[in-house]
Structure formats: C-alpha cells, structure tokens
Amino acid sequence: MTFGKTHDIAELTTELIGKQVVLGGWIEDIRKLGKMTFITLRDVSGISQIIVKGELNDNLGEINRQSVVSIKGIVQETKARDFAFEVKAEEIEVLAKAIHPLPVDPIGRVESNIDTRLNHRALDMRNQKTASIFKLRHHVLQSLRKTFVEKKFIEITTPKIIGSASEGGADLFSLDYFGEKAYLAQSPQLYKEQMTIGLERVFEISNFYRAENSHTGRHLTEFTSIDIEAAFMDYTDVMDILESVIIEVYKFVSENCKKEQEAIEHTIEVPTAPFERITYKQCIEELKQAGEKVEFGEDLLDSHLRIIGKNHPGFFFLMDWPMKLKPFYIREKDEDATLSRSFDLQFGYLELSSGGTRLHDSELLKARLKEQGLDPAQFTDHLKTFDWGMPPHSGWGLGLDRLMTILVGIDNVREVVLYPRDPDRLRP
Ligand code: AMO
C-alpha cells in the first residue's frame, strides 16, 4: 500500500513536465474510451486529469467514483481545456473503495438538504462549495490571530468546565463533576477580565455553550466565540479594535481566497470604515418614527432590529444601552448613570458582537450582582481578584459562526459549523 504522495495537485508546474510524481486523491470522474481511460482526480488542492493507456488500461478493472487512489505517473502537457497539465499513469492503486450509493453526492450535481448533508458531513466536505466555506473559516481564524498579535494581544485558553456561571442567567448546561455540580462555560468573561491584571491585553478563540432552546438560523448551543479584554481601554477603544479586526478579515480573505469565492459563488467585498455608530436612544426615536410602540429602557425585539437594520444596512455599532439591559459587569456612563458604556456590533438585524467597559471596583460589582438577583457569594473567586490591583478594562465577544454567515452570504449558521449543535442535533 502506498501511503505517501510527492505532490499535491496544485503543486504541479511546468518544471515537472517529463518527471514522475505520485498523487493521492479521490476519483471524481472516470470515462473509459476504448483504448484509453480519462480519470479526474481530486485532492484538497484541486483537480487533475489522469490518462490511462496500454496494458494498465487493459487491466484497470472496475474503479468506483469517489474511491481513494494513489497514482504514479509522468506529468505532461495537455490539450484538455480545463487542465494545465495531465499525468500519464504508470501505476494505479485503489487504497479504499467507495461503497455506492453514497448518501450525498459530493459533486453537488444532486442537491441534498442541509440535514442530510450534516448527517454525512465528512463526505459533504468533498463538495467544493462546503470545503470552500471551511477553507475560508480557516483563513478568517488566521487573519484574526495575525491582527491580535500585531495589536499586542496575548492568546489565552480559559476553562470550559466551571463551578459557577460566568454570565449569570439560566442558559447553562450543568454536569456531574465527581459528585459536585459543574457547568459548561457560557463565555470566558470572568477569566478574561482577571487576566488583564497580569497580561493587560488578552484574546481567546474557543467554543462556549448556551442551553438556549432556540430554533433559528443564528443560534447554536455550542458556538465559537472570539473574545478580547484590554486593560487601560474604554469601550470606544475596543470598538475601534473590533472594526479594524473585521476590516482586516475581509481584506485577508478577499485577497487570499479567490478560488473559494468562486466555488461559493460569492464575492467578498471589504466594507467601508468607519462603521456607523448610533445610540440606543437614537434607535428608539427611529422605531417611534416607524410607528413602533417602544419606550426607553425596553429591550429591542427581533422585529425592531429588522427595522433598524433596514435603516442602517451593513455593519454598524449600536451603543450606550440602558444599564438595566446589560450584564452585571458593565460600567455606567459618567454623565448619565442610567446609560452604559456598552455596544453591540450589528450587521443589519443580526447581532455579531457585544462588549463594553467593565466595572473594576469590587464593591460596585457586588452591588450590581445583587441588583440583578445574583448572589455575590457565588462570585467570591472572581471578586477577590478585584482587590489585587484590577486595572480599568474593556472588551468584547464576537460570534465567529455568525460572522462567517455574513462573510459567505448564507443565512444559516449550521452551514459554517462543521458539526453544529442545536436543540435538535447532538450527533454526529
Ligand atoms: P453575548 O452573550 O452577547 O456576550 O455573546 C457575544 C456574541 O456571541 C455570539 N453568540 C452566539 N452565537 C451563536 N449561537 C448562540 N447561542 C450565541 N450566543 C452568543 C453572538 C454574540 O453577539 N461576555 C459577553 C461579551 C463581552 O462583553 O465581552 C457575551 O458573551 O455573535
């Protein structure tokens, strides 16, 4: 059995003409034409034409589409329009056969619904549209890390099994931890704040968990969050960072992922900066003008956000929310204590990120916990760190999965997550 290969298909160049290579991949198409067989071979990097002639062709036998093969042969020029080169096969080894009928068509000629594709995700990944989404996701992650490092943020990894809630609220998964009740972290909130004491600027890209029984195209029970926390920064400073992180992601993928954009039939256009910044109060005015019955202090409903999203297409910040609508750790504005130093980043109606300036005084934090019906005793480990020289700090959390839907122009978050978890889906 041949395990290795000398080249990925995309690595075939003019210099290799006349030379022997070993390719490995999957049979996308196979056409027998009497004395010759044409094979279209696909690997992760692209497709190549393989010509089989002579004795090898006579003894070829049955090879199924989508079987995995190793092909040794000589690179040569081709007359075929769709290929730069072809490989004249010398040896063909079937490494594993594909058993037909396959549950989804990886070429995408026969379309399958999303549930069928998710049930057979590994095979779905041989579909170039699906694979391109995940190659784009890989590039997005690369760009995010690059920008954070350039801005002197340090990557951290916080625990996902925790002893008390990080965000408060009811949407926590609980589990038995050797006889003690534990939870799956909803966010890295408390840990990332604590890390500003020693590391000043931190970021994390990890999965977090929400026991929300939501059946929408934008909610998952396990989602990937991009988080930052920065000492000596106010909320407007971290809004600037968020804006440049997003712009850099768009620039990076629009330049580096041309093939992927073609495959998903979507052109990624870099948005214009600066993003508009509108206040919650302004939103209430706009909603009233649109005939909505909504008062200051009320949370904005999905229907409200759709109206606001129409008025402000694309990315925009929605800032200065009422204090009572924000989590316990958010700080008020100096000039009006009913308003918070907080923001959401929206894309139309869709919330992509939220963040703000944090309280960094433990007494104020205790008072806010009580105000929100939370027990400060549950937060002892966190509160004590505030007595060790907690700097003023701000941060945000950005949903990677939601950002991906905007980037690729698909409105279901399940399309951009390998194995999505939602109330109806725990397997595979
Ligand atoms: P929040 O709860 O608003 O804030 O979450 C931040 C962002 O995470 C994404 N998100 C989700 N994505 C998919 N499915 C879900 N169930 C889900 N829940 C949240 C959204 C959202 O905007 N600790 C704060 C952030 C901070 O202040 O630093 C937090 O978790 O895109």
Read off the pLDDT of residues 293-350 as tens digits, 9 standing for 90 and up. Answer: 999 999 999 999 999 999 999 999 999 999 999 999 999 999 999 999 999 999 999 9
Which of 354, 417, 422, 424 has the most ligand 1 atoms within 8 A of CB, as the residue to mutate? 354
What average pLDDT does the segment 41-66 reach? Answer: 96
Which token pair is 380? 């002892």
Q: Residues lining ligand 1, judged by CB closer than 6 Å?
A: 167, 187, 189, 210, 212, 219-220, 223, 225, 227, 351-356, 395-397, 399, 401-402
* Alpha carbon nearest to ligand 1 atom 22, residue: 353
pLDDT of 11 above 80: yes
Cα(372) to centroid(ligand 1), Å: 19
User: For ligand 1, atom 3, which residue shows the shortest CA distance?
Assistant: 354
- Centre of ligand 1 from the C-alpha of residue 292, in Å: 26
Q: How confident is the model at residue 165 (pLDDT cuts 50, 70, 90)?
A: confident
CA of 152 to the centre of ligand 1 (A): 23
Predicted confidence (pLDDT) per residue in 354-364, tens digit: 999 999 999 99
Question: pLDDT value at position 239?
Answer: 98
Rounded mean pLDDT of the chain?
96
CA 326, distance to chain mean position in Å, is 25
Reduced to 3 states (helix: H, G, I; strand: E, B; else coil), residue 268 is coil
Q: Collect contacts of 56-63 with beta carbons under 8 A, ≥24 apart.
A: 56/89, 56/90, 56/91, 56/92, 60/32, 60/92, 63/27, 63/30, 63/39, 63/92, 63/94
In the chain, which segments carry CATH 3.30.930.10?
A: 122-416
Does pLDDT of 415 surpass 80?
yes
Calculate ∠ Cα 157-385-239, nearest 5°.
60
Strands 201-209 and 180-184, how do they pair? unpaired
Distance from the CA of 257 to the center of ligand 1, in angstroms?
27
Q: What is the mean pLDDT of residues 240-251?
A: 98
Q: In CATH, what number does 122-416 get?
A: 3.30.930.10
Q: What confidence score (pLDDT) does residue 148 get?
A: 98
- Quick one: average pLDDT of 218-224? 98
- 169 pLDDT exceeds 80? no
Which atom of ligand 1 is closest in space to residue 220's alpha carbon?
14
Q: How far is the CA of 225 from the centre of ligand 1 (A)?
A: 7
- Residue with the smallest CA separation from ligand 1 atom 19 is 399
Q: How far apart are CA 230 and CA 393, in angstroms?
A: 5
Atom of ligand 1 nearest to the CA of 402: 31
Residue ranges of the chain assigned to CATH 2.40.50.140 = 9-96
Check residue 332 and give its pLDDT: 97
Check residue 170 and give its pLDDT.
75
Residue ID of nearest Cα to ligand 1 atom 24: 397
Max Cα distance, the chain (Å): 86
pLDDT at residue number 409? 97
Q: Whose CA is nearest to atom 27 of ligand 1?
A: 355
Tell how far the Cα of 359 is from the centroid of ligand 1, in angstroms. 19
Å from CA of 351 to ligand 1 middle: 8
Q: Which residue has the tokens 């991906």?
A: 404
Task: Note the pLDDT of residue 3.
Answer: 87
- What is the Å distance from ligand 1's center to 255 Cα? 28
pLDDT band of 2, cuts 50, 70, 90: confident
pLDDT band at 109 (very low <50, low <70, confident <90, very high): confident
Q: How far is the CA of 307 from the centre of ligand 1 (A)?
A: 21
Whether the pLDDT of residue 229 is over 90: the answer is yes
CA-nearest residue, atom 11 of ligand 1: 399
Q: What is the percentage of the chain residues whose pLDDT exceeds 70?
A: 100
**Among the atoms of ligand 1, which is closest to the Cα of residue 403?**
31
State what percent of residues in the chain have pLDDT above 90: 95
Q: Whose CA is nearest to atom 21 of ligand 1?
A: 353
Q: N- to C-terminal Cα distance for the chain?
A: 30
Measured in Å, residue 402 CA sits from the centre of ligand 1 at 10
d(CA 102, CA 26): 14
Between the CA of 413 and the centroid of ligand 1 the distance, in Å, is 14
Average pLDDT over residues 71-84: 94
Which residue out of 140, 225, 319 has the highest number of ligand 1 atoms within 8 Å of its CB and is therefore the one to mutate? 225
Q: Is the pLDDT of residue 166 over 80?
A: no
Retrieve residue 327's tokens.
Answer: 């989590």
What CATH number matches the domain at 9-96, 3.60.90.10, 3.30.465.10, 2.60.40.10, 2.40.50.140?
Answer: 2.40.50.140
* SS3 state at 28: strand
Location of structure tokens 């760009």: 143
Q: How close is the Cα of 227 to the center of ligand 1, in Å?
A: 9
Which atom of ligand 1 is found nearest the CA of 413? 13
